[in-house]
Copies of this chain bind each other. A is one copy, B any other.
């Protein structure tokens, strides 16, 4: 299987290549690295393998069996049709196709069975909808989720490599007693939190909040009432989520623990809870602070942590690719 990665030089693109190699899904000979003209001709070293980055063009998807897009919406919108026209399977990480009713939105631990030979284009969900659905879907099947309230504590790596560098530099600058400054975020991120991820929409929600809600509704159940507040925190990698669920049926904490301990890609945190820096490098969602919601008889409160460059990113893309490979073989 010949695989092209578009956006190969980004945070997630590099993780995808590393995971393809590590999991033995592809050899370095089977991987083609594509990126913007700016990166074309540069080399990319991943685990002793060296790749020459080529420019992503409409005409270089021939001989590709699958193309993974780790790109922003505008790039996906421009190049995905060319990859499909070349006959390739496509896994798109951008938000461009996610809510398209013709395109299956795949959160692998939840609905990987929607990958079929017939469908060529798949979208995967964002790095918050994916871990939340991973925990919420099994609870919904067992107890019925009526309502979900989500508050995020999301890392800067979701905004790219440059944002990580900017966060580090802002921190260093404040530690040297310079005044806080705004670099790549809407407000200073050093020793601060910012309740804005993406632009605001007319209803007052941010685009990130809209995506979380819409993607969860598409994948888990459109009937669930969902609210979200997305907040950027000065963490490099690893998203955390305070999740409040209202269930239809009575439950016990022991039942929920039992259920989640056997759910796909879920781990119960040791020592009450995980923190984002502890889960970096794992494909799983860690669940802690599991407790009765004192504000509702069927309510439950949970604390989720996951590696946002993997779950809802590289891991989801890789698992969808593996499923494609399985149905093609």
Contact present for B153 and A193 (CB under 8 Å): yes
| Assembly CA distance A273 to B191 (angstroms) | 17
Known interface pairs A213-B294, A226-B295, A229-B242. Does A277 touch B151 (Cβ–Cβ under 8 Å)?
A: no
Residues of B within 8 A of A250 (CB): none
Question: Closest CB of chain B to A136's CB: distance in Å?
Answer: 14
| Assembly CA distance A149 to B301 (angstroms) | 11
Q: Mark A124-154, 1 if CB is under 8 A from B, else 0.
A: 0000000000000000000000011101010
Q: Mark A270-314, 1 if CB is under 8 A from B, else 0.
A: 001101111000000000111111111001010100000000000
- Residues of A near any B CB (own CB < 8 A): 147-149, 151, 153, 168, 171-172, 175, 180, 187-188, 191-196, 200, 203-205, 213, 225-227, 229, 231, 233-236, 240, 242, 244, 253, 272-273, 275-278, 288-296, 299, 301, 303
Contact present for A273 and B203 (CB under 8 Å): no
Count of this chain's copies in the oligomeric assembly? 2
Contact present for B295 and A233 (CB under 8 Å): no
Residues of B within 8 A of A203 (CB): 291-292, 294
A contact patch SS: mixed
| Assembly CA distance A226 to B195 (angstroms) | 22
Known interface pairs A277-B188, A294-B225, A295-B147. Does A233 touch B193 (Cβ–Cβ under 8 Å)?
A: yes
Contact present for A301 and B242 (CB under 8 Å): no
